[in-house]
Structure 1
């Protein structure tokens, strides 16, 4: 195949994703892959197993294939010596095979979508292709290991993309390195809209006319569902008509946590006032979120960015989120509210202030909606990523 033929239909960019499950990082990868200029780039996604993400890729028409990546399936694997040993043994053969495949595929660029997968960076180095590392989270490592890992990511990449200043801060004294790029996530506001009336959704969920406080996140310890329920219990006495909605499913590894949350939600003042929707397709998320009077986005640790925060803002919802990445989105008291991570009392106090003053809550929601539309669109995100691709591959526009 001639080089001119490859360029006429875009050069191959291979995305490395550490999981076949679906979360915010996968949503952003899918949006990027489907909005890159096809005359410049031909995306192909490698992932370790078939799952909800591969189904979404197929539906969107994005090429993908399973590759035996040496990547942990959950954060629990990072705390298991045995699991880490297995991953270490799998890494060398995976890298060698992947490098050979990248060369055969005439890969112009490798883009790793998680800090948990090392295969892509090493294979890109062997194959002579530039590598971009995309980091969206607080690295679940102690300070010395985090510093070492951040340094390794810079050394193995032509560029490291982070989605917030809070994520960039993990590089410490290296945060000013020119290879580090802060590119916030973005949202396609034309598609993230409710398709059904709010009254229909409320009736379907069995909700009355009282205020609704909601949370949208995959069930996991770091997402803070237990913190949300703790805060909700503190609100029950002052807001007897309030109901609380938890949107999101759980990976098999976190089924015990899901059961514990059910028990928490059915005890004391919360009994009969909490609704779990389970996993909801992405297209249906705005339909449920529109019925929230307030959106809560608590975490037990620093939030990397908070895509759901941006989604709530785009819908005009007042949002209460934890410090960290959401500080790039929310201007305290102007476009939302910020509270410390893991602080149920602070969360409850912020929610109560908004529930007591609906007019103020609406003002925050409208201001947040305007900010989302002006500064955090998908088009802006794709444009910034494409500019990095151009720079590291020396393609002229």
Structure 2
């Protein structure tokens, strides 16, 4: 197709999503819907047991990847956790072999579909570079929504790993980012400036809530009826600053005293035992509840809506699907001034922004919203308006298609 010439047939797009649950799976599902609404023909190639498989949709969904559950139940006892860490190398080897063969089958499936464009998932393992090359050689254009391009939980990588990661990013054209700061950081590290594009994070439209659901939330999490609730929600990672929030909690000065609920599945790099000890040390009236598990979709909307304030005390970040979900449901938020978080929250307009790592500033912001519920609700409503109206999935998809058709 010549430059400036409008294509007549719909763009055929394949989206690879190896995760069966969680924020990335939700993002890919809703992006596929937006692209379809804008006229593209979309195939979503997903993991077996995808939690949205029964949701209504206008695109094709193929559950083809037989991988593993990212949100496995975490053992409660210390001995069970130690045993799990001992067998982890064997499990990683088995999973690595399975990952290779699943990607080989997937690549052949994609080549048979003959799409115009393939959306690659987040690059967890640089070895997928070889499969990207196979697709590229068949004339398939590759692109990606880059949620993350670095491991924020550990440093260091082999020369081969860095080389493959560089090469795979060079195969994407264009490559989309959800925050200007992430885009700039990527360009600084990998170059590829001519290929980078900026799009907003679409709203989380899968979660709904009604007033009748509030009691279900209280029963599930063991909360007192009508208790004031401040919430941290999302995967527990070292980079998300949960310990900073626990340190800040005794400094929150609001009446009636609220409860802090930390709810989310711990990543393998997260020190869950350390957090449990930290909470025990703060147990003298500070009212902290920890639920280290994957929260069912049916409870996410009611949980977020039940919270008076949702807090994102991250130490580093590119973007946040949990923040998008909170804003989409009109919740007042406190975020730290890192990465894309501050780009999505207007300080004093759609939430409050504080420096990362400051327990005092975090506590002060939480207290401010709790003490002024009218202003807090106004900020929440304004954030919801921007998330739903100005960052709609149709608008996100239109920007993506404009870049692909340019």
TM-score, normalized by length of structure 2? 0.75
* 8 Å contact kept, 2:214–2:303: no
2:133 is the alignment partner of 1:122: yes
| Equivalent residue number for residue 61 of structure 2 | 63
Shift of 1:194: 0.9
Cα-Cα RMSD: 3.9
Partner SS, residue 305 of structure 1 = coil
Q: 1:184 aligns with which of 200, 217, 224?
A: 200
Residue-by-residue CA offset, 1:349-394 (whole Å, 9 max, x unaligned): 2212222333332332232223223322222222222333444xxx
| Equivalent residue number for residue 3 of structure 1 | none
2:330 is the alignment partner of 1:316: yes
Higher normalized contact order (CA 8 Å, seq sep 6+, divided by chain length): 2
In structure 1, C-alpha distance between the alignment counterparts of 2:105 and 2:378, rounded to whole Å: 55
Change (3 A) 1:319 1:150: farther
In structure 2, C-alpha distance between the alignment counterparts of 1:201 and 1:90, rounded to whole Å: 39
Q: 2:300 aligns with which of 256, 278, 285?
A: 285
Gaps of 5+ in 2: 1-6, 72-87
1:280-359 residue pairs with structure 2 within 5 A?
A: 280-301=295-316, 303-322=317-336, 323-359=338-374
In structure 2, C-alpha distance between the alignment counterparts of 1:167 and 1:375, rounded to whole Å: 20
Shift of 1:186: 0.8
* 8 Å contact kept, 1:266–1:272: no
Change (3 A) 1:346 1:85: farther
2:229 is the alignment partner of 1:212: yes
Aligned residues: 370
In structure 2, C-alpha distance between the alignment counterparts of 1:122 and 1:94, rounded to whole Å: 16
Change (3 A) 1:128 1:176: closer
| Equivalent residue number for residue 22 of structure 2 | 23
In structure 2, C-alpha distance between the alignment counterparts of 1:46 and 1:199, rounded to whole Å: 32
Change (3 A) 1:200 1:367: same
* 8 Å contact kept, 1:10–1:42: no
Change (3 A) 1:106 1:296: same
| Equivalent residue number for residue 392 of structure 2 | 377
In structure 1, C-alpha distance between the alignment counterparts of 2:234 and 2:393, rounded to whole Å: 20
Change (3 A) 1:109 1:202: closer
| Equivalent residue number for residue 243 of structure 1 | 259
Change (3 A) 1:387 1:243: same
| Equivalent residue number for residue 81 of structure 2 | none
Q: 1:107 aligns with which of 100, 115, 120?
A: 115
In structure 1, C-alpha distance between the alignment counterparts of 2:299 and 2:217, rounded to whole Å: 13
2:396 is the alignment partner of 1:386: no
Change (3 A) 1:123 1:65: farther
In structure 2, C-alpha distance between the alignment counterparts of 1:217 and 1:92, rounded to whole Å: 29
In structure 2, C-alpha distance between the alignment counterparts of 1:281 and 1:386, rounded to whole Å: 32
In structure 2, C-alpha distance between the alignment counterparts of 1:260 and 1:91, rounded to whole Å: 32
In structure 2, C-alpha distance between the alignment counterparts of 1:104 and 1:359, rounded to whole Å: 56
Partner SS, residue 388 of structure 2 = helix
| Equivalent residue number for residue 160 of structure 1 | 175
Gaps of 5+ in 1: 1-6, 75-79, 392-397
Change (3 A) 1:257 1:92: closer
TM-score, normalized by length of structure 1? 0.77
Shift of 1:168: 0.1
Change (3 A) 1:157 1:266: same
